[in-house]
Copies of this chain bind each other. A is one copy, B any other.
C-alpha cells in the first residue's frame, strides 16, 4: 500500500482539511467506490499522520454526505441508491432550470460574452468525449453562476459534484451523435439567455436536463441491481449532458 501524498502545505490549511479534500476527490473521481469501508488507522498510515486529523476529515466527509458515519462502526462511502439518484437528478434538473431563468435576466454583458464564447468553442470539440465533458461542466457552471444567487449556485454545484461519479465519460455508442444533440440543446439555452428570455431559458434548460437525465435513469434501471456496488462497478452508465 503506497503512501498517499497530500497537497502541499503552502496554503494555510490544516492536515484534516487536506485529507478531507484528498478523500473527497477520490470518492468523486471514483477511486473510492460506494460501500468502501474507510478505516481510520489505515488511512492514517497511508497519509503518514495520526488518527486525529483523519477523524476530522471523516467527520467532514460525513457532514457533507460523502460517507455514512455510523457511531462506533466507522465510515463507509455513501451508497447512492437508484431512488436517491433519481431524486438528485430531478433536483439538479429543476434547480439548473431556475438558474437559467435568473441568468437570462441577470448575467452581465461580460458573462454573456463568456457563455457565448464557450459555446462556440464547444462546436469545435465534437470528437473528444472527455474534452466535451469539461466544456459541458463549465457551461453549466457559467449559467448557474450567472444567476447571481450564491445559494442556488452552491446547491447546483454540489449536486453536480455529487453526481459526477455517475457521469464519467466513457467511449460509448455514437459519441458524435450524443455530443451534437447536447450541443444543439445548449444552443437553444444560450440563445434564450442571450436574448434575455427567462421563461424560454428555463424551459430549454429543463428540457435539456430532463432528456439527459432520463437517459441516465434508463441506463441505471436497465442494470440488474447495483446493490453493494456503485458507479464504476456496473459499467456503461455515463451520459453527455
Contact = CB atoms under 8 A, between A and B. Distances in A.
Interface string A6-27: 0000001110110000000000
A151 B88 contact: yes
Interface in A148-172: 149-152, 155, 159
A2 interface: no
Nearest to A101: B94
Nearest to A162: B151
B13 A91 contact: no
Contacts of A13: 71
Interface stretch (A54-62, A190-198, A228-236): A54-62
Interface residues of A, number: 29
Contacts of A84: 150-151
Contacts of A16: 59
Contact of A90 (B55, B151, B155, B159): B151
Contacts of A59: 16, 56, 59-60, 63
A98 interface: yes
B71 A149 contact: no
A4 interface: no
B12 A71 contact: yes
A56 B59 CA distance: 7
A95 interface: yes
Contacts of A151: 84, 87-88, 90-91, 159
Nearest to A13: B71
A64 interface: yes
A218 interface: no
A12 B72 contact: yes
Given A59-B59, A63-B63, A155-B155, 5 more contacts: A12-B71, A12-B72, A59-B60, A91-B151, A94-B98
21 contacts: A12-B71, A13-B71, A14-B71, A16-B59, A17-B71, A59-B60, A59-B63, A60-B60, A60-B62, A63-B63, A63-B64, A84-B150, A84-B151, A90-B149, A90-B151, A90-B152, A91-B151, A94-B98, A95-B98, A98-B98, A155-B155
List the 7 shortest-distance A-B pairs measured between CB atoms, nearest first: A63-B63, A91-B151, A87-B151, A60-B63, A59-B59, A91-B152, A87-B149
